[in-house]
Structure 1
Amino acid sequence: MSDQGQPAQEGLSKKERREIKRLEKQKFQASNERRTNFKKGLKWLVVILVVAGIGYLGFRSGWFSGAPDYGEPVIFAEQFEIQGQAHINIGSEHPPYNSNPPSSGWHYEDPAPWGFYDKELPDEQLVHNLEHGGIWIAYRPDLDKNLVEQIKKTAEYFKRRIIMEPRAANDSDIALVAWGWVDKFSASEFTEKRLVDFINRFIDQGPEKIPF
């Protein structure tokens, strides 16, 4: 080895020395190119993660729901004490709920598929949907059909985590329910803003976080 740490080149022809220098230059350039590509790839990965994170938060918060912007939200809901998250067998008896419709407490093991129903589902099943951050829209079976369609059309802006059903036990025309919260009102008090504000405020606020 020479004093500079380079391999001794005594006895090599000029052509051989030029070839060695060329190969060393190629090796140096390839190393620089790998470092540059790695840095570029890392930057793009950060950008993708940031965009994906913003998209996920927007999806969860309702930014991309398609619902109109009604301005400053107004919440009429009443908060109720949480009655636990106990699972019970189908048909089992349990203590009374503290709200109508119930907003927490005893529930069946399997939640209902999200969607819009024209038949009544068990309260104990839908409480499980609330636990997963869903919104339960319950209306009296004799509610005006045009109003039912208007409520459904408004709720469809959100495309997820919505359960809507007729419910004979309602003590109001319409009830909006989330985990620990209930907003009850008459047909004449319904506005799209009231429904949208409630969903935006309480969707995904259940104690169990699930992806969809």
Structure 2
Amino acid sequence: MSQTPSPAPEPSKDRADRAARVAAMKKAEKAHARRRRILLVAIPTVAVLAVVGGVTTVFLNRPQPPSLDAVKVYQYGAGEHVQTPVQYKENPPVGGQHNPVWLNCGVYDKPVANENAVHSMEHGAVWITYRPDLPTAQVDRLKSDVSGESYTVLSPYDGLPAPVVLSAWNHQLPVQSADDPRIEAFLAKYVQGAQTPEPGALCSNGVGTPTG
């Protein structure tokens, strides 16, 4: 009875080659997996860094708000009502005694009474005054600045120390042009600002008929 011959033993060199190939395949798979993990971490990180970098760039390149360091500060107490004309030290006034009735906020084409305007500032209004000879284009620019503001008064004023003067209670800023960027900054800070003695008090139902 014949017997099936046994397979010839695998040469040692072939075994070594196969083991080397298997090891290389495992090493490649591990390297691929490692790269995939790195990418999974790196892609979100790069995206976050890109966003942060973009935000940082925007923040660093954002124009700085104009400085209000030139604002002059005074100290006047509130609530001093008088029925007589008042001789104010500042021109225009920034506080002190005033008429019991406030000025209606808005745009005026003619000068208004100091005593009523000061009362409006006590309620949180910003009073913008300008020289009567200020060019029409400059006046129109001031009108656009106060458009939509409930607590602003705009009026011409004789004898101003500057072409335009912005006044809030105990605070004042003279500027040379209606294009000065500090005007908007002043309005943003002082319309119903922290300096207001009577925040929330009316700037209507008083005296005066604004044109706008």
TM range (shorter): 0.5 to 0.7
The correspondence for 1:163, drawn from 126, 139, 153, is 153
Which ranges of structure 2 fall in alignment gaps of 5 or more residues? 1-61, 203-212
The correspondence for 1:81, drawn from 75, 78, 82, is 75
Question: In the alignment, what sits opposite 1:179?
Answer: 169
The correspondence for 2:132, drawn from 141, 145, 160, is 141
Deviations 1:14-69 (A, max 9, x none): xxxxxxxxxxxxxxxxxxxxxxxxxxxxxxxxxxxxxxxxxxxxxxxxxxxxxxx9
Seen in structure 2, the aligned counterparts of structure 1 residues 87 and 79 have a Cα distance that, compared at 3 Å, is: same
Seen in structure 2, the aligned counterparts of structure 1 residues 84 and 97 have a Cα distance that, compared at 3 Å, is: farther
The correspondence for 2:93, drawn from 93, 98, 102, is 102
User: What is the number of equivalent residue pairs in this alignment?
Assistant: 138
Seen in structure 2, the aligned counterparts of structure 1 residues 208 and 152 have a Cα distance that, compared at 3 Å, is: same
Q: Aligned-residue CA RMSD in angstroms?
A: 2.0
Following superposition of structure 1 onto structure 2, how do residues 34-73 of structure 1 map, counting pairs within 5 Å? Answer: 71-73=64-66
SS of equivalent to 2:181: helix
SS of equivalent to 1:107: coil
Seen in structure 2, the aligned counterparts of structure 1 residues 70 and 109 have a Cα distance that, compared at 3 Å, is: farther
SS of equivalent to 1:164: strand
Seen in structure 2, the aligned counterparts of structure 1 residues 146 and 70 have a Cα distance that, compared at 3 Å, is: farther
Seen in structure 2, the aligned counterparts of structure 1 residues 171 and 98 have a Cα distance that, compared at 3 Å, is: same
Identity %: 25
Rg larger in structure? 2
Which runs of at least 4 in structure 1 moved beyond 4 Å after TM superposition? none
Question: In the alignment, what sits opposite 1:201?
Answer: 189
Following superposition of structure 1 onto structure 2, how do residues 21-36 of structure 1 map, counting pairs within 5 Å? Answer: none
Q: TM-score, normalised by structure 2?
A: 0.60
> In the TM superposition, what is the alpha-carbon distance from 1:173 to its structure 2 partner?
0.9
Counterparts of 1:185 and 1:192, CA distance in 2: 7
SS of equivalent to 1:88: coil
